[in-house]
Structure 1
Amino acid sequence: MTMEAPVVLWFRRDLRLADHAALHTAAGQAVKGPFTDSKAVKGPFTALVQSGKRVLALYVLDGRLLRPAGVPRTAFLLDSLRELDAALSGRLLVRRGDPVREVVDAAKEIGASAVHVTADLAPYGRKRDAAVAKALAEHGIEWVATGSPYAVTPGRVTKPDGDPYRVFTPFHRAWTRHGWPRPADTSASIVDWVPSKKSLAIPKSPDLGEMRLPPAGEQAALEAWHAFLENGVADYAAERDRPDREGTTRMSAYLRWGAIHPRTMLADLAGDASEGAQALRGELCWREFHADVLWHRPETARQNYDRRFDRMSYDTGPEAEEAFEHWCAGRTGFPIVDAGMRQLLAEGWMHNRVRMVVASFLVKDLHLPWRWGARHFMRHLVDGDLASNQLNWQWVAGSGTDAAPYFRIFNPTTQGQKFDPQGDYVRRYVPELRGVAGKSVHTLKERPEHYPAPMVEHAQERQVALRRYGSITS
């Protein structure tokens, strides 16, 4: 009897074994409808049985992605790889270098008939995958992409005329109508994993100093998600904008690396019509909307979505660079801004409401380019995701998909008073202000000796911003 050729499962942004569409396909199972655009249905796939299919688990450390990743995201990735390797009983093959060379070599070494992946829809991922698929074809090895890191693969939701959506609300309605597949019933046991050979030891994580990151890996993701379902989802709509409380899911880093799939989360929320569940589905949809925008407009990772903003006037020179350094360090003299920037440095994460406040302050109070802030975030965020980061920054800056963008200029003082009413968030991250009681921490009639004065007068800079925006949008 002829032994069936093994296959390679190349892990990328899908560092898990449960609800893994590409693993499902690699195992040789019949898929009930494509994982890319099926309508939402209840219940998991239940037809899976152990197939005995021989699969090599592969991860390639790609310098093109690691170099700009920053310490927090690199550390979380490496910890996630260790967790995945443990779940595979040490059978994860890790290589370092050009994916075109490393993937082809790994496939050839085991005589693989195919390489299976979860599709990568980011600009670099699309180019890299096209090059790898071409190189594999030259050796008679099939390239099989199944599913994506999203509930609905970017490009699947369009207007009736086929054009992409430019505004979130109609996209949200169409995305909800479109639906998504039920979770794939997968685990390590459905295949016979090929032992890794010539594997690179997973590098030691970079020194984080005093930074505190969440535990990495699929098991940690599932535990965090189940804890939120039990204790957080009911209050999510009311609490998610309060940085002084633990009201968010804290699932963003796990979604970034695919330790959990959004399809899993949406399945667990199915049938829950509460305000909290509806709000959370909306937040997941924002992630998918930005991925869809980037898929259609890959240049928006670096360029303005609204090209009128190419004419926008920003401050430059040594004073602008010094102002940017104060913003990065959390030394602006605006307590809510400084708390957010220091949370980023301490945890590799920042509350979403505060992300909007600090971004608005950089672009509309300091008049600095959104790209500067986006680059700083990507260096320090453990959940740094190209689509979400760049397009959220553009949403705040006004150059993105928002229909009426530039009038939204956050007042950092009133934002602090509204969303951190007792000042607990500020005091947690700005030790100079821990002696200031209650809500007065946001106004500071008397400033502690070592806390800086405000860099700017917000009301004045708001008018400057409006004039500059008006000059390009009139």
Structure 2
Amino acid sequence: MADETAILWFRRDLRLGDHAALLAASKRAKAVLALYVLDDRLLRPSGAPRVAFLLGCLRALDEQLGGRLRIVTGDPVEQVPKAAEEIGARSVHVSTDTGPYGRERDEAVAAALKERDIDWVETGSSYAITPGRVTKPDGDPYRVFTPFYRAWARHGWPSPADTGASIVDWIEPSTSERLPEVPEVDMRLPEPGEEAALQVWQRFLSDGLDDYHEGRDRPDLPATTKISPYLRWGCVHPRTLLADLRGDDGPGAKALRGELAWREFHADVLFHRPETARTEYDERFSRMETERGAAARVAFGQWCEGKTGYPIVDAGMRQLAAEGWMHNRVRMIVASFLVKDLHLPWQWGARHFMRLLVDGDLASNQLNWQWVAGSGTDAAPYFRIFNPTTQGEKFDPTGAYVREYVPELRALQGKSVHQPWKSPQPDYPAPVVEHAHERQVALQRYGDITGR
């Protein structure tokens, strides 16, 4: 072990186990400063739920480090070199960030460190396979998920890194700002941190994996992993999950590997096409006619508040407001309703999700919204328009999910909860639009740009 000091700059890797950058730092330095920079460019667009969960994860990490996590606020281009100079660090270690802002930021930080003769060392990433490494034989990126998935599975990934708090001597920070007060949120947020992540995962392996392929589309059942917030903030690494699934060819494990691969596919797409965080992957769809006036803003507000008159949509939006999370099937339903029934820009919905979702990941969020909108990588999904009533009846067949989040409808039994207009409830709104009509409008508008 070299007799030098280093910095481990935590970002989307708020854990100590299976941490490749920590392992690299331990091989280079005897003493390591744990650093986190509260970056306003990342905090500003985040809503209170995201900030609250992040701060909770930082508190949990600090406890694991015995109170030795140095936290500073400001521009990382200034703060990271400053911290390195203060302790005489010869290297700064990070997990690779492949997002649009992260790449720009890291290039600037690396340049500032180079001027001071301090090494910038990237090891691993937030993904089993770092985006950009899985390509077609000719080197081009994949545009379709299924061939990407096959190539991703063939490529494989390393075993989890054997790391923990004890593999380095952590430097006692000479100065450290106090974490901001956790914003008050009237929500049921997940327990933050690495320990909580591993408990959630082990509980799912024991009680949920075998039936995951059958239950994951049912919002009325506790059948999902609930691991997505922890993956987003790096409280657990996907490589850890994949290692636990190794050798399991059951339908539940296969379905879960597929979901993890979707996360990696979207990260790869964003790596190659960073502009798709804001603009259409399929440029034709930038000409799509959408509603944007005062009436559109009113409709958007009704959607955000869960007052559209379509129970499954309203339940999903209220779950988001109550928990900072929404069931994945319902995310698709509410997104389809926004884009194809209300004819609003997908970017409005994506932005709202990113403010509130504790698992809001730029690549997964933006590109899943584009998948629903029809402008993404899928070959021809624009005509896939979810009927919110039949979707509710199919995936919430007893109405339990709707009744949990829409108390105005609790008097309605079974599937009748999905058609409240047949038994109007005094406190619940009538549908804001007629789905059958709006479906035809959407198809016409899609036809105008696709020629179909």
Q: Tell me the TM-score normalised to structure 2 length.
A: 0.99
Structure 1 runs of 4+ off > 3 angstroms?
none
Post-superposition CA distance 1:234-266 (Å, at most 9, x none): 000000000000000000100000000000000
Residue number in structure 2 paired with 1:35:
none
1:289 aligned onto 2:289 = no
Aligned length: 450
Task: Tell whether 2:21 aligns with 1:22.
Answer: yes
2:213 matched residue in structure 1 = 237
Query: Residue 27 of structure 2: SS of its match in structure 1?
Result: coil
**1:191 maps to amino acid:** V
Corresponding residue of 1:426: 402
Match of 2:173 in 1: 196
Q: What is the CA-CA distance between 1:138 and the residue it aligns to? A: 0.4
Q: Which residue among 213, 226, 235 is the counterpart of 2:189?
A: 213
Task: Note if 1:305 corresponds to 2:305.
Answer: no
RMSD, aligned α-carbons: 1.0
**Structure 1 residue corresponding to 2:413, chosen from 437, 445, 449:** 437
1:391 aligned residue (347, 367, 384): 367
Instruction: Note the C-alpha offset of 1:22.
Output: 0.1
Contact 2:57 2:193 in 1 (8 A): yes
* 1:269-418 map, 5 Å: 269-418=245-394
Aligned residue in 2 for 1:38: none
After superposition, the C-alpha distances for 1:387-420 in whole angstroms (9 at most, x for unaligned) are: 0000000000000011111110000000000000
For normalisation by structure 1, the TM-score amounts to 0.94
- Alpha-carbon displacement from aligned partner over 1:437-474 (angstroms, at most 9, x marks no partner): 11110112111001000111111110100000011011
SS at match of 1:95: strand
Match of 2:249, as an amino acid? A
Q: Distance in 1 between matches of 2:163 and 2:396?
A: 42
Deviations 1:207-241 (A, max 9, x none): 10x21101000000000000000000000000000
Gaps of 5+ in 1: 30-51
Q: Could you tell me whether the CA contact under 8 Å between 2:20 and 2:123 is conserved in 1?
A: yes
Which residue matches 2:238? Answer: 262
Aligned mate of 2:159, from 182, 186, 192: 182
CA distance in structure 1 between the aligned counterparts of 2:214 and 2:71, rounded to whole angstroms: 43
Residue 11 of structure 2 corresponds to residue 12 of structure 1: yes
**How far apart, in 2, do the equivalents of 1:322 and 1:203 lie?**
34
Letter in 1 for 2:397: P
User: Given residue 26 of structure 2, which amino acid in structure 1 is its aligned partner?
Assistant: A
Distance of 2:248 and 2:286 partners within structure 1: 44
The amino acid of 1:23's aligned partner reads: L
The amino acid across from 2:5 in the alignment is P
- Secondary structure in 1 matching 2:449: helix
SS of 1:28 mapped into structure 2: helix
Q: Name the CA distance, whole Å, in 1 between partners of 2:229 and 2:174.
A: 30
Q: Per-residue displacement from partner, 1:122-142 (whole Å, max 9, x unpaired)? A: 000000000000000000000
Correspondence for 1:94: 71
For structure 2, the 5+ residue unaligned runs are: none
Instruction: Give per-residue Cα distances to partners, 1:339-386, cap 9 Å, x unaligned.
Output: 000000000000000000000000000000000000000111111110
Matched, 1:172 2:149: yes
Name the counterpart of 1:129.
106
Q: Any conservation in 1 of the 2:8–2:35 contact (CA below 8 Å)?
A: yes
- Out of 224, 249, 254, the position equivalent to 2:225 is 249
The 5-angstrom pairing of residues 103-142 of structure 1 reads 103-142=80-119
Q: CA deviation at 1:203?
A: 1.4
User: 1:3: Cα distance to partner?
Assistant: 8.0
The 3 A distance-change label for structure 1 pair 3 and 269 is: closer
Task: Report if the CA contact (8 A) 2:2-2:27 is conserved.
Answer: no
1:462 to 423, 430, 439: 439
1:250, 1:156 → 2: CA distance? 28
2:426 maps to which of 435, 439, 449: 449
Which AA in structure 2 matches 1:92? L
Secondary structure of the 2:96 match is coil
CA distance in 2, matches of 1:53, 1:433: 61
State how far apart, in whole Å, the 2-side matches of 1:306 and 1:113 are.
Answer: 45
